[in-house]
């Protein structure tokens, strides 16, 4: 599935206060697509609102749910925020015997506890809606910043003059070649959204 850019060419033109030529629009779109892919890879999230069907391997719940019924199972939905869960199947059989806590889906019975599945964790298919609509403003801003760095300075050149001597660098003094990449400051902003742990996801349909 091809995901849309997290900011539009029109957004970028408005922020910059300029009008793009058709050639510049095409370049801006390509850079926004690249920046969006980099942000998604760093955050480990699709970010934009979508509905997907994924299959996960059920596991036993963590310590915080020791009070749940014996045999309860758990899966972590990897895409956040979870907006709604439409359908759940355990080993191909639909069930309503579940509840959701943020991105954690709990099932009140786990068929691996009895034969013939005693030693094989069940597979849980979940259809759910996730992501933001609209995209949070700080995420969109970072995507535009990353794209604009290449628009205004495609070679990544930085010059400085000290004592009458001019020096040109291909990368900033920090050693970061930003280009369509993320700065340390931008990463810190994205960290509040970033997914740091995931589930075992078998497939998407």
Higher pLDDT, 71 or 56: 56
Residue 203 confidence (pLDDT) = 45
Q: Which tokens belong to 204?
A: 């998407």
Q: Say yes or no to pLDDT of 175 above 90.
A: no
Q: How many helices (H) and strands (E) does the chain have?
A: 4, 10
Write the pLDDT tens digit of every residue in 76-89: 999 999 999 999 99
* pTM of the predicted protein model: 0.78
Q: Say yes or no to pLDDT of 32 above 80.
A: yes
Residue 164 confidence (pLDDT) = 62
Inter-residue contact 48 to 4 (CB < 8 Å): yes
| Type and span of the H or E element at 16 | helix 9-16
120-151 residues labelled b (16+ CB within 10 A) or e (exposed): ebbbbbbebbbbbeebeeebbbbbbbbbbbbb
Q: Say yes or no to pLDDT of 91 above 50.
A: yes
Mean pLDDT score across all residues of the chain: 83
Inter-residue contact 126 to 54 (CB < 8 Å): yes
Residue 63 confidence (pLDDT) = 56
Mean pLDDT of 25-43: 96
Residue 205 confidence (pLDDT) = 43
Residue 152 confidence (pLDDT) = 77
Residue 159 confidence (pLDDT) = 55
Percent of the chain with pLDDT over 70: 72
Write the pLDDT tens digit of every residue in 110-162: 666 556 556 678 899 999 999 999 999 999 999 999 999 888 765 554 555 55
Residue 111 confidence (pLDDT) = 60
Q: Say yes or no to pLDDT of 43 above 90.
A: yes
């Amino acid at each position: 599935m091809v995901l849309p850019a997290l900011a539009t060419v029109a957004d970028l033109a408005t922020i910059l206060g300029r009008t793009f030529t058709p050639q510049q629009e095409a370049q801006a779109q390509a850079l926004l697509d690249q920046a969006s892919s980099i942000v998604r890879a760093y955050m480990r999230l699709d970010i934009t609102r979508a509905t997907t069907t994924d299959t996960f391997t059920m596991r036993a719940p963590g310590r915080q749910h020791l009070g749940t019924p014996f045999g309860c199972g758990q899966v972590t939905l990897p895409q956040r925020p979870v907006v709604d869960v439409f359908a759940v199947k355990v080993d191909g059989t639909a069930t309503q015997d579940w509840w959701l806590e943020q991105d954690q889906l709990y099932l009140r019975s786990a068929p691996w506890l009895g034969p013939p599945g005693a030693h094989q964790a069940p597979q849980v298919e979940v259809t759910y809606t996730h992501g933001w609509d609209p995209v949070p403003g700080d995420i969109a801003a970072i995507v535009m910043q990353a794209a604009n760095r290449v628009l205004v300075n495609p070679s990544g050149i930085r010059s400085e003059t000290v004592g009458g001597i001019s020096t040109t660098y291909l990368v900033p003094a920090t050693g970061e070649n930003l280009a369509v990449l993320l700065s340390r400051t931008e990463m810190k902003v994205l960290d509040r959204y970033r997914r740091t742990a995931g589930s075992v996801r078998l497939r998407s349909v």
